[in-house]
Each structure stands twice: as C-alpha cells, then as structure tokens.
Amino acid sequence: MTTNPGGEERYDLVVVGAGSGGLSVASVAGRLGLRVALVEASGELGGECLHTGCVPSKTLLRSARVAQLMRRGADFGLTPRDPGVDMAAVNRRVRTVVERLQTQDDPARFQSYGVEVVFAAARFLDPHRIEAGQRILRSRRFVLATGSEPSVPPIPGLAEAGYWTNEDVFEVTGPPARLAVIGAGPVGVEMAQAFHRLDWQVTVVETGEPILPAEDREASETLRAGLEAEGLAIRTGCQVQEVTPSPEGEGHRLHLGQGNNLEADRILVATGRKPVTEGLNLEAAGVGLTGSGAVSVDRRQRTAARHIFAVGDVCGPFQFSHLANYQAGVVIQNAVFRLPAKADLTALPRVTYTDPELAQVGLTPAEAEQRYDGLEVHRADFADLDRAVTESEDTGFAKLVFRRGRIVGATVLGSHAGEVLPELVQAVRGRLTPKDIAAAVHAYPTLAEIAKQTVSKYYAERLFRPRVKALVRWINRVLP
C-alpha cells in the first residue's frame, strides 16, 4: 500500500467482502506479492457460509441425525433411546464448531499473506476509488464479494409476529415448540427436518407444488414421502397471506387462504436470498445489475467496468460457497495473471443435505429432454447396493442421463449422496466416459458403487441384445 499527497491509499487489488470467494482471491493475490486490501463491513471474516450458513446448518443437521439414529436403535439390533434434546446444548456445539473453523479466517493469517484487512463498509466514489470508513482506497482492480442476505416476503403481520432466518435460527436455546417453515427450497427443507428430529412440531408451507422445485421430480417426491413418513408436515400449493396473533393464546396464526390456517409458536422464513449491493454506490463505478438485482458479469467474472470483478452470491447465478471459490479461481487468472479464463458451470454440483441427501450435477432428465433428442436415462437403486443394505440406509437411487455415449446429468438421492457425486462431476465435465466408470475398480462395499451400477445398466442394454448374443454364439462355435 502507498499513500499519495491527497490522502488516498493505493493498491493493486481491493476485495470488498470477506466470504469464501473474497478470501480466496485476497489470499492468493497477497501471497503473490500484490498490494491487496480486504474490506469487510461485518467486523469478522468468513462470510455467511461460516457464520450463518453452510457450517452451522450442517453441524445442526448432524446433531439431528444422531438424535434420529438413537430413536432407530431397533433397526440395528439395539435398544431405541429418547435423545432428550437440549437445544441450548445443541447450539453450543454449533458455536464451538464455528469458532474452531473461524481460526482459519483469523485476520492475522491474512495479514501474514500481505493483505491489509479493513473492517468498514465500502462505497464507490468513482470507478477506481472506494470510501471505507474514514479512508479512501484507490485500486487498479476491484473484486466484489459481498454475498447475499435473506429475502423476506412482504406478508402482512410477519414483521410484527417476529421470525427467524438463517441469520438467527442457530441461536435458539428454548424448548421445542411448533415451528412453521415458509419455503421448501434447500434451506427450508434441511432446517425443517433438523428441527423435527430435534423434537419440534414442524410444518413446511410452500407456494408451489413440489418441494425442491429445481430438482428431479421423482427425487423430490421420494424425499418428500420420506420426510412425511418421519412425521414432518408439508403443505404445498398454498401461500401465507397474513400472520396474526393466535386466538388460542400464545403463538401465531398463519392464514393460508380458503379458510385454511396454521398455528405456530415460531416462524422460520426460508424463501430465498438476495444479493447485497445496497450502499455500494455501484452506479458511480459503472457496475450494472441484472433484473434480479445481482451484479451483472460476463464469463470472465468481469462487470461492465472491466477492471471490477465479482464472485459468489452477489453475482450468482447460483448461491453456493463452492461456486464462489470456483469463480475466485477464474478472477485470479484474469485479474492477477491476466489470462482470459472463463467460468464453465456445465458440471456445477449441488447437494441438499437432508437425510437422505439429494445431489445433482448437470441436467436433470426433464431439463435434458427440453434441450436434446436421443437421450437415455438409466438408474440403480440403493436397495440393490450392498453397503446401503448393511447400513439400513437403502432409500433412494442414482439416475444418469446419457447422450451420444456421454453422461450429461446425474441425480443421486441416498445416504451420503454428495460424497458419491465427484466421479459423476468428472463425467459430466467430459473428463470421464461411461466406459471409464465401468472399467474402474470400486472398493467393495462402498456407496460409490452406485455410479458403476448405474453405468452398468447402460451397457447391459447394449450387451444383451439379440445381435450381440448371436455374435457370441458364433465366436464360441468358430474359435477354438
């Protein structure tokens, strides 16, 4: 960093936002010797994923799964046990895990990389200067990584009733009660199952008809059946029109229309997220927004102002931490090494961490049918997978979409589906052919065998055709 006579501090790169994407860019650029400033408004590094998103939610889900396994003792020849849920203790564990991982995002660590950490809100003054607190930072290049925040629908009475989002749901310490979850996307469904398994009486309300509408319909319907079999209530095709105090006493009444109501003590809003751009004064920098309010970028992650880049939730098109890190790699190549790298989201994986998990990469069968002809879809069931049977976790299936000898999409619903996905990600990327998967030796017994079993269905259809059988008979008659 240098300071000119006008009081401006000069940098090679200023990163605004210290979530996973921003941290990745700043750390690499700093270690490569650039003058880097990392500006973060919240006062702590790590972003939403560490503090209120991926990490605490997966920690909570793990506690909920253990509670469910205790109840399922008889499935394993053991005596079932009531887990005796203590929400305060559960969330102490959540905080402990967050605090442990927070050490990886200590400001001192980034300062050791040569990155100056500035805790202040950023505001553009012009395309090359931002105001950060009382300081003015001038830079040749900028990276926007300000993330997203909960999007709360304008439901009358909701604000007066009070509600949780992912930003405060992990602070719950009171006893289990009635919980209404508005929204059946990944966050809503994950949290609904977790709280239900932690002894809450949970009802999910979704405006659309299927839960997880972006996923394969068969997979989402199978998952829904499993959730309802556990006792989780799911009401789709209805919308919360108003929230009023419950006439029954404490709690709230959610009015769903047509005389349908839902009584709840607590409300969790999980209706999506919106990019954080307010206060940045992006107009002064020449940075444009999409119709959804996200920062508009090209495939090189450049905004309309070509020296300003964006990564993560603030630009999308999806809100995954792993996407932010991937985009950070694209920015490093473009902004640091000046290489014309472009983002390719063909094989971007996603996982909904319910039990069982629902994982997807590439196109679902429905998406593929809209785009291509000549498709084949083959599936294998976890019920036919020895490892799944031994663990009494045999719900679900893998479904692969084939086109011209390539895998263009994969859906996996099952235990640890996200761990099965990497091999299929490589296949959708074109780095592995179905033949490569079929020829690979998979350790037995493992859940990863589900990929090979599904590919085997694809080859079996070809191998056992009458023409092939006739050829085999001829070979065995003619050759010694």
* 229-281 tens-digit pLDDT: 999 999 999 999 999 999 877 899 999 988 899 999 999 999 999 999 999 99
DSSP letter for each residue of 203-245: EEEESSSSSSTTS-HHHHHHHHHHHHHHT-EEEES----EEEE
First to last CA, the chain: 80
Q: Is the dihedral of CA 271, 275, 280, 281 positive or negative?
A: negative
Residues 143 and 192 in one domain: no
- Residues 89-102 have a mean pLDDT of 96
Whether 150 has a pLDDT exceeding 60, the answer reads yes
Token pair in block for residue 152: 């709360």
Residues 179 and 254 in one domain: yes
Which residue type, as a one-letter code, is found at position 261? Answer: N
- Residues 22-43 have a mean pLDDT of 97
Whether 462 has a pLDDT exceeding 80, the answer reads no
Residue 444 is part of a domain; what is its CATH number? Answer: 3.30.390.30
- Residues 386-407 have a mean pLDDT of 97
The backbone torsions φ and ψ at residue 67, rounded to the nearest 5 degrees and listed phi first, read -60, -40
Query: Domain boundary residue among 271, 297, 320?
Result: 271
Mode of pairing for the β-strands spanning 135-144 and 129-132? antiparallel
472 vs 386: which has the higher pLDDT: 386
Whether 473 has a pLDDT exceeding 90, the answer reads no
Query: Domain boundary residue among 227, 256, 271?
Result: 271
Residues 167-193: pLDDT tens digits? Answer: 999 999 989 999 999 999 999 999 999
Residues 282 and 373 in one domain: no
Residues 146 and 33 in one domain: yes
Q: Are 197 and 231 in contact (CB under 8 A)?
A: no
Residues 278 and 267 in one domain: no
Residues 311-369: pLDDT tens digits? Answer: 999 999 999 999 999 999 999 999 999 999 999 999 999 999 999 999 999 999 999 99
Domains contained in the chain, number: 3
Whether 85 has a pLDDT exceeding 90, the answer reads yes
pTM over 0.75: yes
Query: Structural domain of residue 326, as residue ranges?
Result: 2-45+106-150+274-336
Does a structural domain hold residue 66? Answer: no
Whether 308 has a pLDDT exceeding 70, the answer reads yes
Whether 298 has a pLDDT exceeding 90, the answer reads yes
Residues 415-450: pLDDT tens digits? Answer: 999 999 999 999 999 999 999 999 999 999 999 999
Q: How far apart are CA 88 and CA 69, in angstroms?
A: 20
Element (H, E) at 398: strand 397-403
Whether 63 has a pLDDT exceeding 80, the answer reads yes
Whether 375 has a pLDDT exceeding 90, the answer reads yes
Q: Are 270 and 253 in contact (CB under 8 A)?
A: no
Residues 135 and 26 in one domain: yes
Residues 140 and 11 in one domain: yes
Residues 134 and 174 in one domain: no
Residues 174 and 228 in one domain: yes
The alpha carbon of 43 is separated from its chain's Cα centroid by a whole number of angstroms, namely 24
Residues 230 and 294 in one domain: no
The backbone torsions φ and ψ at residue 226, rounded to the nearest 5 degrees and listed phi first, read -70, -40
Whether 44 has a pLDDT exceeding 90, the answer reads yes
pLDDT at 2: 58
Residue 146 is part of a domain; what is its CATH number? Answer: 3.50.50.60
Residue 447: closest CA among 377, 357, 360, 378: 357
Residues 389 and 402 in one domain: yes
Residues 244 and 279 in one domain: no
Does a structural domain hold residue 89? Answer: no
pLDDT at 6: 57
